[in-house]
Structure 1
Amino acid sequence: MDIHEYQAKEILRDNGIPVPPGRVTKDPNDAVNIAKDYGDTVVVKAQVHSGGRGKAGGVKLAGTSDEVFAAADQILGLTISGHTVKEVLITPAEDIDSEAYLGILIDRESQSPVVMVCSEGGVDIEEVAERSPESIKKLIVDPRQGLLHHQAYGLAGALYNDPSLVKQATVIIKQLYQAFVTSGASMIEINPLISTPTGEVKAIDAKMSVDNSELFKYPSIEAYRDVASEPWAETMAREAGLSYVKLDGNVGCCVNGAGLAMATMDLVKYYGGEPANFLDIGGSSNPQKVVTALQIITSDPNVEVILFNIFGGITRCDDVAKGIIEALGQLEIEAPIIIRLTGTNEEEGLKILSAEGMSAFTSMDEVVEKAVSETSN
């Protein structure tokens, strides 16, 4: 789950990190009133679950009431990476002496948090990694010990030479790590982390993603969920108890079990195709889940073929077959459906499909190869 910048900043504040004040609004007139509390110049920032807001015109400086109104009016309703801006954050403009990057995420190889710092902030860290990877310093943290003071001090020293700035940054790095481990975050970053001409270190932008499987532990974080900003398919999948991740391919995948789903996507790639999604219907024997899964898959205009790969255990093949037939009666599905059914109630499932003029494979390789052959790849 992604959260908005202003929400991430609230979490940073709660952990003691210096963050400029700010308030959100959906109304340009209210933006003007908020700006009056913040001095001569403010920044009007789009609040969407997307990067690249500045390049898309979603971040503007404003020095007068007319400029604040115009900026808010222009940004509200703007579409950035497919997301419509419904709120803007008004925050005071800061005098900036230097910009740095500070982020924490999970390193899959070590299965541990990794803290990353870079003295070049205010730009996409991916761009920096391509251009000058040596400028990014990384530290893998032993989760049993946590981030130690001397480790944070070493990272801060990679950002600043001034002892006062190093001292402040050391504290902020430790506080950010605390925020990371106490919120179920999978990624948290400050970009940029600035130093001011008066010698202060502040976080003036923040981004945070939370592992959905961790949310039950953190109801206060769950409360930050902005359903209106989430893709319709993800919301529908979550409410139906399906695990769904949209990808960029054209082979729609409906599978039971996360391991089988990942193996299916690997096989799609092996045969020259590109999976359009990860979708695990789980172990429930419920035909309606299959109907919902097909609604989600067919909502993606890139899908050219739909691949079912079902290994019946708790999930019964006849229930999956019933769900497919129900969906065909309810939805307008133009893409061909290629099916593999094997396992619990396999024969009953095949009979249900056969009665409707449909057939199914029992070989995983054959069904995937057939599905890929139906695409324009």
Structure 2
Amino acid sequence: MIANRRSKGILHYAAMAAVAALLISAVPARADAIDDLHGGAQAIEQGQYAQAISLFDKVISSGALNEHGLALAHHHRGIAEQKLGQTAAAIGDYSKAISGNALPEAVLARAHYNRGIAYSQQGEDAKAEADYRATVKLVPSYGAAYHNLANIERRRGNQKAAIADYSKALEYMSGDARKYAFHGRGLSYEAEGDKSKAKADYEAALRIDGNFAPAKTELAALDRPQPKPLIGSDTATNGKEGKAKVIRVASASGWETTAVRYANPAGNKPKAGPVPTSNAAVQSPERQVNIGDAANRPVPEASTAPAPGPYQVQLGAYRDEETAKVAWRNLVTRSQGRLSGIEHRVVRADLGERGIFYRLRAGGYAEESVAHRLCARLSTVGIECVVPR
């Protein structure tokens, strides 16, 4: 998903609006409650999300807030929870903030947008769509919400609606974020069979960021004829042992991975060949199954074996190990094949006063660029990751 670049400004606005509301309300709030609201907002801006949650817990349970302050506190706590991967808790807090009808309009739009992202992470596209539409109704210039609506339409196969929403997003988005809308619209144009418009959009994305890997990959694959196998279909060369077996796996998103493997002579272990990737058709962010289904699917637990290379991707940090394991199962489902066959591990990190976190990491590559390419592919389905140094 594309995060709105104005988040810090809105956060400052929210904090100021909270204080103003608290001061003019018929039911005044205590000064310490105002201080805690300020402190929580500041902790979020500094990336101290656990501390922020603690402060908001304190102020929400104090009973010292009026309806306006309480709505802002729930909204802010939702942001901190979402940053820590506590999606269900974040949805609960955003819902309380929204239902109170006490948020300033600009902050209400942000709450709908954030909850839309959280619902999308849970695989609840209909609820996510409703929140994104509420966002643009409140703030018609909210480009990131149009972008995320377009992702949903593209996932449904409604490319014309997706193209319209990407175009709307491009009217209002600015700076580096526009590359995502150009890339997404290019994928929809390609799915519609309009290669010339797809090419123009991929090139536009690369003019913004010449190293934007998804657009590079699309552009390179655009004129290269490739078979379009069904999901899970295999094509293999006929021949004797030692001949290459080419297995092409196409996800529902259109991303194709070609794995070159070799026939296994008796008694020998198979050797893995190079694994180039290309994206030759439309991709669709996020999940086709709900979180309950995903949690019940058998997925290998975290590996304790050493990674074959030093470069990994980090997919999140969680407060307990079990949550990290559940998150991996959900991410595998959401990734539409991008994480299939990739080793993962849960790494315990003691951050002193900030507490203990469990970092979810995957892969293990000899070259850093390979890890960055994986993050780029995951970003096209709304999964964010970083390459830790």
TM-score, normalised to structure 2, is 0.29
Say which one has the larger Rg: 1
More helix as a share of residues:
2
Asked which structure has the greater RCO (Cα within 8 Å, sep 6+), the reply is: 1
TM-score, normalised to structure 1, is 0.30
